[in-house]
Amino acid sequence: MIRMPFGSKYTLMVANRGLIFRLFQIVIKLLGYPLYIGDRVRAYNTMRDLNPSPSDMILDAGCGIGVYSLECALKGAVVIGIDISKEAVIKGLRAAKAAHLDTRLFFLIGDICNLPIKDNIFDKVLCVDVLEHINDDTTALHELYRVLKNKSIIVVHVPKKKQSYVFLKDKIDYRNFGHVREGYTFEALKFKLEEAQFTIDHYKETFKTFSSLAWKFNYMFRGKKFALLLFPLLYGLSRLDFLLGNKSSGQGLLIVAKTHK
């Protein structure tokens, strides 16, 4: 994921300049950013399929603070990130400026169900763990199709429906994350994408045995002072699925689909 010196730009947002801040800088220098297992697993999977390049015009739909937007811009793509949260967009703008990427990375405050963007603009759209927050996800997918060019792609990642939470039974409620639905089955998301005129290219499951376990421990210890010290260990654990070629089912779902206009 994101490496120094770029990762260090996020330390500008950290108010505490004491020991935690210094540890934060050290871990970023060694392992990059973000320091959250969920973002790392999603980024590793989605970026491989998105494959941003300097010739791409990319929309990061529901970008949050712009972690994926920034990564795409580092690869040379022109990127527009859009999010409904003004606070998140401001943080993204600050990070882009600090990283000297503000000439090819732009952020908008807006609703992806009603994009303030003309038709047929983008080569690629990235939509990571966003649809489960939106009541009218069908309209959102139609809008994303509208702004894509012909023979372009969308990379969508969502939580999978009917997840199992080993070690965290009865402790996680999807509504705590602002989700309006638990997640999606492949069949349900495939139907919605095809209804929006996309053609499915391929799909895979994410957050398999080790990465899911690492995320759960990361979630359990969130906010604790020692959580930063545990991150390198949990990050290593999350990588085992990729290194071992784990073929088990996962807690997340990634679909790549194409446009045909």
d(CA 83, CA 62): 5
Please report, for residues 53, 146, 184, the alpha-carbon distance to residue 141 in angstroms, rounded to integers and kept in the order given: 24, 9, 14
d(CA 236, CA 246): 15
pLDDT greater than 60 at residue 126: yes
Look up the pTM and report it.
Answer: 0.86
Q: Do 126 and 79 touch, CB atoms closer than 8 A?
A: no
pLDDT greater than 50 at residue 150: yes
User: What CATH number belongs to 6-256?
Assistant: 3.40.50.150
pLDDT digits (tens, 9 = 90+) for 159-214: 998 655 444 444 555 566 678 888 899 999 999 999 999 999 999 999 999 999 99
Beta strands in 117-190 (DSSP E): 122-128, 148-159
Min mean pLDDT across 30-44, 50-64, 71-85 is at: 30-44
d(CA 134, CA 131): 5
Say if residue 34 is preceded by a cis peptide, omega within 30 of 0.
Answer: yes
pLDDT greater than 50 at residue 12: no
Q: Where are the domains of the chain?
A: 6-256
Average pLDDT over residues 245-250: 82
Beta strand 199-206 with 252-258: parallel, antiparallel or unpaired?
antiparallel
Q: Do 145 and 197 touch, CB atoms closer than 8 A?
A: yes
**Phi then psi for 108, rounded to 5 degrees?**
-130, 145
How would residue 15 be classed by pLDDT, with cut points 50, 70 and 90? very low
pLDDT digits (tens, 9 = 90+) for 180-193: 888 899 999 999 99
Supply the mean pLDDT for the chain. 85
Q: Which residue has the higher pLDDT, 27 or 137?
A: 137
Residues sharing a CB contact under 8 Å with residue 190, sequence separation 6 or more, in sequence order:
200, 203, 255
pLDDT for 9 equals 42
Written as six digits, the tokens of 19 are: 């020991």
Query: 3-state DSSP call for residue 60?
Result: strand
The amino acid occupying position 257 is A
Min mean pLDDT across 31-35, 38-42, 97-101, 144-148 is at: 31-35
